Amino acid sequence: MTVIGLDDTDSRTEGMCTTYAAARLVECITDAGGTVDRTLLVRLNPAVEHKTRGNGALAVHCDLPAEQAVELATATLDMAAVDDPRTNPGVVIADCDPAAVPDPVRDHALAAVRRLLDIDTTRDRITAAGFEHAAVGNGRGLIGALAAVGAWRAVDDWTYERIAYRERERWGTDRIVDADSVRDAAKRHYPTVWDTVDRPSGYPVCVPRTPCPILYGIRGDDAEACRRVAADIESEPVARTHTFLTNQGTDAHLQIATLADLADDSAYRTSGTVREPPETQAGGHVFFVLGDGDVTVDCAAFEPTKRFRDRVRSLRVGDRLTVCGEVSDGTLKLEKFALRDRVETELVTPDCPDCGRSMSSAGRDQGYRCRDCDTHRDGKVHRQIDRDLERGWYEVPPVARRHIAKPLVRGGFDGPTHPER
Ligand code: ATP
């Protein structure tokens, strides 16, 4: 077996897409008489600053001899949008079974999903493993390419994406996709197929808005269901399709940590108590402060998370939460949270037991009294709060979901879930 990893062939301005380069590479391998077992689309740390969009790296598992694979893989670098100086493509070719890559390569893949890695260490790992490689520019693409090579050993939760690509001459033009056919097909296969449409707005989230070659991508837990949804979509002509095995929708990026252990440029699942209430700031972003012991962290639900912000606004000081999201500049950007313990009462000035009006202070540490009825209370009293937020997990809507974040509808969460669709 031969494993080919590739990354960083695309550009924000020039179009292209590494999944497309991989799909083309698969065609070249087949044309050369090889057989492809599978193609992986591995989403790496979403906090990487120089990513183009979703920080995806690709791996192709095939039976071509490694020397021949090196030739074909290197040729795909020519497809890269290297006119953009931020595009630094790399390929890594491993002459072994994907399940037999050395431990340091598996560990590199695990780390690439959760932390920031550097090019020099990556080059050392490639050399130590005895893998072939090729790169253009500063070689940054080798980080993701090696991670893609190690992914088969590092990932244990796989989902699928069926991608349809546009005809070359249409790249960069408006996409023609019939939104009704997307909605109907998505409805038939939900929840096996997820994040196809944002239901309240009807927006087809499966259709990208960037100038890349993708027409739409259908994500789900079953390859055949994804294929069926894709086949039922009415659209402009489809140039080619490809099904990828992927770690999308798995939460593989989240590290379990205490609030004190959070650091920038990684994503976490952590717990705490709401210390300062949610506040909507300029631009519609909602912030609150979460605390655990002496440590506090700002948590944010940004404007693009839309109706998720209403869930966040319903939080109250004292609520116990588990929160998930990426930390940057010391702020945790919420992807989902679980309301564990809910504050049910608040302390308020008592009402007079006789006339029902609010009592007034009887003086410092003297409690409250009603002058009209001459009644007295020792202090504030607990009043039941009418909470509109149930216990359990809440998430951002599909339109704001990170590729790697796990939709609640996939299940396996430790509490009731309130899925967005
Ligand atoms: P697309 O969404 O179109 O696939 P992209 O978002 O994957 O684009 P790239 O152009 O591939 O973005 O850029 C990401 C770059 O970051 C690559 O060079 C990759 O090797 C590198 N990279 C990936 N993971 C890490 C990491 N954990 N630490 C440092 N660099 C990384």
Query: What tens digit of pLDDT does each residue of 233-258 get?
Result: 999 999 999 999 999 999 999 999 99
- Tell me the pLDDT band of 13, cut-offs 50, 70 and 90: low
Residue 201: predicted pLDDT:
87
Residue 77: predicted pLDDT:
81
Among all chains, which residue has been given the structure tokens 């490689």?
133
Q: Which sign does the torsion angle of CA 96, 80, 253, 268 carry? A: positive
Query: What tens digit of pLDDT does each residue of 77-121 get?
Result: 877 656 666 778 999 999 999 999 999 999 999 999 999 999 999
pLDDT at 29 over 60: yes
Q: Encode burial over 300-330: b for 16+ CB neighbours within 10 A, e otherwise.
A: bbbeebbebbebbeebbeebbbbbbbbbeee
Task: Using the atom order of ligand 1, give the atom closest to the CA of residue 53.
Answer: 6
| Cα 257 to Cα 107, 311, 315, distances in angstroms | 19, 23, 22
Instruction: Spell out the domains of the chain, with CATH numbers in brackets.
Output: 2-154 (3.30.70.2200), 159-246 (3.90.600.20), 254-344+386-410 (2.40.50.1010), 345-384 (no CATH)
* pLDDT, greater one: 21 or 285: 285
* End-to-end Cα spacing for the chain: 40
| Percent share of the chain, pLDDT over 90 | 88
Residue 177: predicted pLDDT:
97
Residue 105: predicted pLDDT:
98
Task: Using the atom order of ligand 1, give the atom closest to the CA of residue 113.
Answer: 27
Q: Determine which residue's CA is closest to atom 11 belonging to ligand 1.
A: 8
Query: What tens digit of pLDDT does each residue of 197-229 get?
Result: 998 888 999 999 988 899 999 999 999 999 999
Q: Where are the beta strands (DSSP E) in 264-319?
A: 266-280, 286-292, 295-301
Q: Where are the beta strands (DSSP E) in 47-153?
A: 56-62, 90-94, 132-135
Question: Mean of the pLDDT values across residues 5-34?
Answer: 85
- Tell me the pLDDT band of 14, cut-offs 50, 70 and 90: low
| Tokens, residue 12 | 């924000």
With a Cβ cut-off of 6 Å, ligand 1 is lined by 7-8, 10, 17-18, 44-45, 48, 50-56, 88, 112, 115-117, 140-141, 143-144
Query: What tens digit of pLDDT does each residue of 63-78 get?
Result: 999 999 999 999 888 7
Task: Using the atom order of ligand 1, give the atom closest to the CA of residue 212.
Answer: 3
